[in-house]
Amino acid sequence: MANSKYEYVKSFEQPDILLPNTWIVVRIDGRGFHKLSDYYAFKKPNDRRALDLMNAAAVEVMNDLPDLCIAYGISDEYSFVFHPSCELFERRNSKLVTTVVSSFTAHYIHQWNSYFSSTPLQPRYLPSFDGRAVIYPNTQILRDYMSWRQVDCHINNLYNTTFWTMVLQGGMNNTDAEQELKGTVSADKNEILFKRFGINYNNELEIYKKGSVVYRQYELQDPNPVQTSVDDDDGSGASSVVPGSKPSRSQQDKLRKLRRKARVVVDHVDIIKDEFWDRRPWILS
Ligand code: ATP
Ligand code: ATP
Ligand code: MG
Ligand code: MG
Ligand code: MG
Ligand code: MG
Ligand code: MG
């Protein structure tokens, strides 16, 4: 197998190793989901089944890849976060992105029927996803990235909720509703919803307003927010990794084992304020 005269072609491959010691975010996004959601008759503005299916696939990706710390999803997109110490695939960009995308897509398609039993997938209209990796040099910028996605979720959901209420309940056509919403700010949309339709936007479901956060849950014995709550139950010292320093190979293996054992949960909460992170210090440590 080795050393054939053809092997020189290997040298055409370009290295694509991501900068060490940085956060890696792989963001995937459904291809042409505007059309796909029409084809399979997603409810507007939010089809709960579609969001639950996205979340179920994301949970399985977290189970497949213990190197992931957290994921955040809205609409047809999901951001998967690898820790700066991650050495999976030697941090090769294309390996990481394609593995996340294909693992996600496989689970999404595999579980489709559990969420859309009345509209089975048609071979000529199969869901697929694109993906990219972006590195962020420190935790503050990673937090800002997560905040950016959650703010986007809020802005889009307020717009979509108002738009579709004007169309579906107010009987307006799409163009008129779009025209009226042009140039409005959040307060205007809240007022349209409340004054015209008696809808208090605050009472909309959290999953629509906040998106979905997926992370590993550990039992908190001591609610001390400064200490990591990864229980060192096997006496391995795995939880005593000094933050910021590169854990040794065996420490990494122990951490991976702990991560693999942990339950992956889905939450719909604020990730912009400090509270979420302060209460779960293990996520970013
Ligand atoms: P692209 O291939 O460029 O990503 P796209 O059609 O997927 O194109 P997006 O900007 O990703 O465009 O938007 C995704 C669209 O999918 C939304 O605008 C919405 O119409 C639809 N969609 C996604 N999730 C849901 C959902 N849970 N309920 C209803 N519609 C959804
Ligand atoms: P990696 O994740 O690094 O790619 P891998 O286990 O997939 O690891 P490969 O070098 O890609 O390793 O090799 C694929 C392996 O899958 C083969 O060595 C063989 O054992 C198995 N395999 C693939 N296709 C077939 C096949 N058609 N019949 C039998 N075995 C197969
Ligand atoms: Mg896209
Ligand atoms: Mg899309
Ligand atoms: Mg999208
Ligand atoms: Mg192979
Ligand atoms: Mg292989």
For residue range 233-258, list pLDDT tens digits in order. 444 334 444 444 566 778 777 777 88
Residue among 28, 37, 149, 167 to mutate when testing ligand 1 (max atoms within 8 A of CB): 37
Q: What is the pLDDT of residue 254?
A: 78
Output the CA–CA distances (angstroms, integers) from residue 13 to 6, 10, 88, in the order listed: 14, 6, 19
The pLDDT, as a whole number, for residue 10 is 95
Query: In 3-state terms, what secondary structure has residue 47?
Result: coil
Question: Tens digit of pLDDT for each residue in 133-185?
Answer: 999 999 999 999 999 999 999 999 999 999 999 999 999 999 999 999 999 99
Rounded to the nearest angstrom, the distance between the alpha carbon of 216 and the centre of ligand 1 is 27
- Give me the residues paired with residue 77 across strands: 29, 74
Give the pLDDT of residue 68.
97
- In degrees rounded to 5, what are phi and psi of residue 65? -125, 90
Cα atoms in the 13 Å half-sphere on the side-chain side of 28: 26
Q: CA–CA separation, 245 vs 228, rounded Å? A: 15
State which residues have CB under 5 angstroms from ligand 4, the bound ion. 29-30, 33, 76
pLDDT at 250: 83
The topology under which CATH files domain 17-151 is Alpha-Beta Plaits (3.30.70)
pLDDT at residue 240 in the model: 42
The dihedral sign for the CA sequence 197, 201, 206, 211: positive
- Copy the structure tokens of residue 209: 């307003």
Pocket of ligand 1 (CB under 6 A): 29-34, 37, 42, 44, 46-47, 50-51, 75-76
Q: Which residues of the chain have pLDDT under 70?
A: 1-2, 219-247
Pocket probe mutation, ligand 1, options 29, 34, 178, max atoms within 8 Å of Cβ: 34
Domain ranges of the chain: 17-151
Distance 1 CA to ligand 4 centre (A): 42
